Amino acid sequence: MQENQSTEAVNPVEVEAVSIPGPTRREKFIKEVKSFTLIILSVLVFRSVLFEPFKIPSGSMIPTLLIGDFILVNKFSYGFKVPFSDWFSDPIYLTGPQQPKRGDVVVFKYPKDTNLNYIKRVVGLPGDTIEVIDKVVYVNNKPIETKEIDGKKILEDMDDRYKSYQFKFMETKTGEATHVTQVDQGNDYFANYYKFTVPKDNYFVMGDNRDFSADSRRWGTVPFGHIKGKAIAIWFSLSVPWPGSEDEQESFKFRPWRIGTIID
């Protein structure tokens, strides 16, 4: 016998909507400030201890670096620093520190005004004797190895203000670095420099544009604590004359072929 099944209508259960309050305007603001602060702090730490970009404003390192080159500086080349420890005094190192090598291109705080950043090449290490005779640089009584080369290609890229000088271009071996220096044959101002012994924990630096560089020959040596890091590469190159500046007569220069150039 088949059993009869009855069906009953099931009434839907009404569920009361529960309103979950969202974050207040103040909470949103605090969250955004925290996120923004974290981003800024991360960028500052990155620039303080890892890598920092700089722009070349002058011609003292021509032909290695041209006016308008944007370079990347390795801040831990000589050891890892405590973040921001070099803002108000010499940096505190967590590792090392290691001595810069002869031939390194370094960015440092200008000894006469530490608010300014300079870039030059390390020529003399602590204890070295430095002397310049007829524009030939001697380190520990031995001339730095040089060989004259053709500079036509260099002149094509050079900033306009320097093209009228009587430059002689020299392939130069400074430590392990092979680079090009230039001297102005019509300028005898820096032709000679008396023999000098580099003090302890200091470095004698020079520009590759020998006769157009204010460097250790003029204002003395660079203490190790002033060195920010080693210049390693060019990541952009754009020279834009500013109205009213001494560069106003120069042309706009974008040099994409220099992007990615390793600095030696």
pLDDT tens-digit series, residues 92-104:
899 889 999 999 9
Is it the case that residue 46 has pLDDT exceeding 80? no
Is it the case that residue 181 has pLDDT exceeding 50? yes
Unique residue bearing structure tokens 């290691």: 98
Higher pLDDT, 159 or 153: 153
Amino acid 24: pLDDT: 83
Higher pLDDT, 254 or 159: 254
- Please give the C-alpha separations between residue 104 and each of 58, 100, 115, 133, 257, in angstroms, as whole numbers: 19, 7, 22, 23, 23
Radius of gyration, alpha carbons of the chain: 30
Is it the case that residue 1 has pLDDT exceeding 80? no
| CA 108 – CA 120 distance, rounded (Å) | 8
Report residue 133 as tokens: 């005779």
Confidence of residue 49 (pLDDT cuts 50, 70, 90): low
Mean pLDDT of the chain: 87
For the chain, domain boundaries: 25-258
| CA 155 – CA 105 distance, rounded (Å) | 22
Architecture of domain 25-258 in CATH? Ribbon (2.10)
Active site residues: 60, 120
